[in-house]
Amino acid sequence: MNFDDIKKTELCSQIQYRLIEELRESVTKFRVIFDSAQDAIVIINDKGKISQWNRAAERIFGFASEDVIGKKLHTLIIPRKYYREFEKEFNQFKITAQANVTNHPVEFMALNKVGAEFPIEVSISSTQIKDGWYSIWIIRDISGRKQAEERLKESEQKFKTIFDNAMDGLLLADCQNKMFYMGNKKICQMLGYSEEEIKAIGVMDIHPERYLPYVIEQFEKQTKKEFTLAKDIPVKRKDGSVFYADINSFPVTLDGKMYLLGVFRDVSERRQLEEMLIMLNESLEQRVAERTSDLKKANIQLEQAYKELKSKQRQLIQAEKMATLGQLAASIAHEINNPLSFVYNNCDTLNKYSERLGKFLKKFEDGKPIFERGKPAQMMSFFQEVRDLRKEIKLDVLLDDFVEIIKEATIGVKRIKSIVDNLLFSSRIEGATPVYANLNNIIDDILVLVLGEIKYKAAILKKYGDIPEIKCYPQQLGQVFMNLLVNAAHAIKGRGKIYIKTYQAENNVCVEIKDTGKGIPKDLHEKIFEPFFTTKEPGKGTGLGLTVAYDIIQKHAGSIKVSSKVGKGSTFTVVLPMRGVRPNKVKF
C-alpha cells in the first residue's frame, strides 16, 4: 500500500495524514543523508544479504545499487583468501551486537569491481526491526591513510637507522620532567646502559653531583634557545666513572611535545692530549729558557766562526791566486830571461865598442897639437894613422851595430816591462767598485803572463768578436781566464791547440776557451767546481782554481759551463750579462 492510497482512504484521519507526511519527510531526509555520506553505508539483513547500498559505496567499489541488492557482501568485496577471517569476524560481531557490546572498527582488504585490492576500515552496528536484525556497515577507503602510514613507517625506520648509527651519542630528553625519552646505540655504549635502561633515567643521573646546579641552569637555558654548545662537560657512566664530552643541544617538537636533543661527543682523549701538550709546552718553555743563554753564546761563536771562515776564504782565494802565479814563475822567469839575456849581451858588446870608440877619440885628442902647429907632412902622416886605426877598430861596422843593438835592447826592456806590469796587475788587490773593461783586452793581458806556460804545449788561436765594454772587476776576471788557460795547457799531452773566442749573444758577452786535451769524464762535470776537487796529479794543483772561477762569475751574475768529451778536449764557456755596458759616446 502506497502513501497516495492511504491519503485517499476515507478512514484516514487528519492525524494519520500528518504522521504519514512526517514519516515521508523523515524517509526523504534519511535518503539524502544516506546518499550524501562520504563513507560507504551498506545495510545487510539477518540473512547476510545487502538491502541498501549508498552512492559512496558505488564510488568506492564501482558497483551500482541494482547490481548488489540481494547479494552477500563478502562475495562482492572480500578476496577469497580472506573469506574465513571475514566470516569469523562477522560471527563475532553478531554475538557482540546481540549482547549490546560496542564493536571496534575492523580493517580488511577489499576488491573493487575491476578486481583491484585496496584496504578498508569497517565499523559495524546493528539494529532490530520488526521483521528481524539488520546490520549497518560503514566502510571507509583507507588507501591514503595506509600510504601515509607506510611513508611514516619508512621515515621512522630511516630516522631510527640514522639515529642508531650516528657516530656521536644522541639523547632525547623530555623538557618537563628532564627524563630521557630515547637514546641511540652510541650513547648506550658511552654511558653503559641498555636502550631500555636509558628510558628509566634522566638528566640528573648522568652528571656528577657537584656539577648538577650548573647542568640544571644550562638545561633551562637550552630549552629556550635554538642551539647551544657546552664544552668539556663531565658525564657519569652507570658504573660511576666519569668522562668528558662536548654537548650540542637544541629543542625539538614531537607530537606537539617539547624535547631537548643532546649530541654527545667524547673528548676525554682530546683532554688527555691537551693536558699532555700543556705539560710538554711547559717543559719546552723551561728547556728553551735554560738554553737561551747557550744559544746566545753559540750565536756569538757562530758569528765569530763565520768571520774567520770569510777571512780563510779570502786567504784561500789569494793563496790559489799566488799558487797559480807560483806555477807560472818559472815560465815567466824564462820569458824575462830571454830579453834580459840579449840586453845583457848587447850591453857587453856596447862596452867593447865604447873602448874602441874611446881609443879612436883619444887618437884625435893626441893629434890636436899637430892640427894647431904641425906641418903638412906631419898632418898627412897623422891622417894616415887615423885611417889605419879606423880600419883596425872597424869603425863603420861598429857604428852600424850600435843602432841595431840599441833597438834590440829597447825591445827587450819593453818586453820585460810588459810582463812586470801584468804581474803587478794580477797581484794587486782590486777595489770594491767595478769599472768598465773589454774582455778582449783582459785576455790579452793574461796571455802575456801565461804565454811561457802555454807556448811550448799549444798554439793559441784567437777569434775576438766586436764586444762592448762591460762594468766588471777586471783583475778577478783575469784570474778566471788565467785558471782556464793554464788548465787547458795542463790537459794537453804533447802539443795541441787552445782556441779563444769572444762574442755577443743577446744581452750577454761570452768567452769560449777550448782545448784539444784529454777531456773530462761526464760523471765529473758536476764535481769540477767543488772546492779542492782536482784531476791533476798530487802537487800539480790545489783544486781551488775552478771553484774560485765559479765564485767570481757568480759575483758578476754570470754563469760558467763545461762541455767535454774524453779524448776530444773540453770547452769552458763564460757568460756575463751586459747590464753594465758603457754607453756610446755622442759624436758631433
H helix or E strand, kind and range, residue 251: strand 242-254
Contact 178, 215 (CB under 8 A): no
* Residue 425, pLDDT score: 57
**pLDDT over threshold 60, residue 542:** no
**pLDDT over threshold 50, residue 526:** yes
**pLDDT over threshold 70, residue 188:** yes
Q: In the structure, what pLDDT confidence band is assigned to residue 429 with cuts at 50, 70 and 90?
A: low
Contact 467, 503 (CB under 8 A): yes
Set of cell numbers at residue 343: 840586453
| Rounded alpha-carbon distances, angstroms, from residue 341 to 345, 353, 408, 411, 429 | 6, 18, 11, 12, 32
- Chain center to CA of 93: 80
Contact 529, 550 (CB under 8 A): yes
**pLDDT over threshold 90, residue 501:** yes
Highest mean pLDDT among 186-200, 226-240, 242-256: 186-200
% residues pLDDT > 70 (the chain): 76
* Residue 586, pLDDT score: 37
Highest mean pLDDT among 12-26, 288-302, 552-566: 552-566
Q: In the structure, what pLDDT confidence band is assigned to residue 588 with cuts at 50, 70 and 90?
A: very low
Q: What is the mean pLDDT of the chain?
A: 77
User: Is 416 buried (19+), middle (13-18) or exposed (0-12) by CB count in 10 A?
Assistant: middle
| Rounded alpha-carbon distances, angstroms, from residue 204 to 14, 111, 179, 223, 549 | 81, 56, 8, 16, 83
Verdict on whether the full-model pTM lies above 0.75: no
* Residue 342, pLDDT score: 60
* Residue 500, pLDDT score: 95
Q: In the structure, what pLDDT confidence band is assigned to residue 88 with cuts at 50, 70 and 90?
A: confident
Set of cell numbers at residue 467: 764586444
* Alpha-carbon span 22 to 253, nearest angstrom: 54
% residues pLDDT > 90 (the chain): 8
Q: In the structure, what pLDDT confidence band is assigned to residue 156 with cuts at 50, 70 and 90?
A: low
* Residue 438, pLDDT score: 92
Per-residue pLDDT tens digits for 7-52? 455 445 566 666 666 767 776 777 777 777 788 888 888 777 888 8
**pLDDT over threshold 50, residue 587:** no
**pLDDT over threshold 80, residue 298:** no
Contact 119, 146 (CB under 8 A): yes
The residues that bridge with 243 in the sheet, in sequence order, are: 235
* Residue 73, pLDDT score: 80
Q: What DSSP state is assigned to residue 297?
A: H
Beta strand segments in 506-582, E: 508-515, 559-565, 569-577
* Residue 508, pLDDT score: 93
Nearest to 559 by CA among 510, 525, 486: 510
Residue with cell 611513508: 151
Contact 227, 250 (CB under 8 A): yes
Q: In the structure, what pLDDT confidence band is assigned to residue 300 with cuts at 50, 70 and 90?
A: confident
Per-residue pLDDT tens digits for 355-365? 777 777 777 77
**pLDDT over threshold 80, residue 173:** yes
Report the interhelical angle of 439-454 vs 395-427 (nearest 10°).
110
* Residue 320, pLDDT score: 59
Per-residue pLDDT tens digits for 432-452? 688 899 999 999 888 877 877
| Rounded alpha-carbon distances, angstroms, from residue 351 to 119, 347, 348, 391, 404 | 150, 6, 5, 19, 15
